Amino acid sequence: MNQGVISRAEKVIMSKTGYIGGGMEGYCALALIDEDGYPSASTLSISKADGIKRLTFLSGLESNKAKRIGKCNRGSVCVNSSKYNITLVGTLEILTDPDIKKEMWQEPLGSIYSGHDDPAYCVIRFSTKRYNIFFNDGESAAGILG
**What is residue 110's three-state secondary structure?**
helix
The verdict on pTM exceeding 0.85 is yes
In this prediction, residue 108 carries a pLDDT of 81
In this prediction, residue 1 carries a pLDDT of 59
Rounded CA separation 113/127 (Å) = 25
In tens digits, the chain (146 residues) has pLDDT values of 599 999 999 999 999 887 554 444 568 999 999 999 999 999 999 999 999 999 999 999 999 999 999 999 999 999 999 999 999 999 999 999 999 999 999 888 888 888 899 999 999 999 999 999 999 999 999 999 97
In this prediction, residue 74 carries a pLDDT of 97
In this prediction, residue 13 carries a pLDDT of 94
Q: Let me know how long the chain is.
A: 146
In this prediction, residue 129 carries a pLDDT of 98
Helices marked H in 16-124: 64-71, 98-104
Helix (H) or strand (E) holding 19: strand 19-20
Helices marked H in 20-135: 64-71, 98-104
Domain ranges of the chain: 2-144
Report, at the CATH architecture level, how domain 2-144 is classified.
Answer: Roll (2.30)
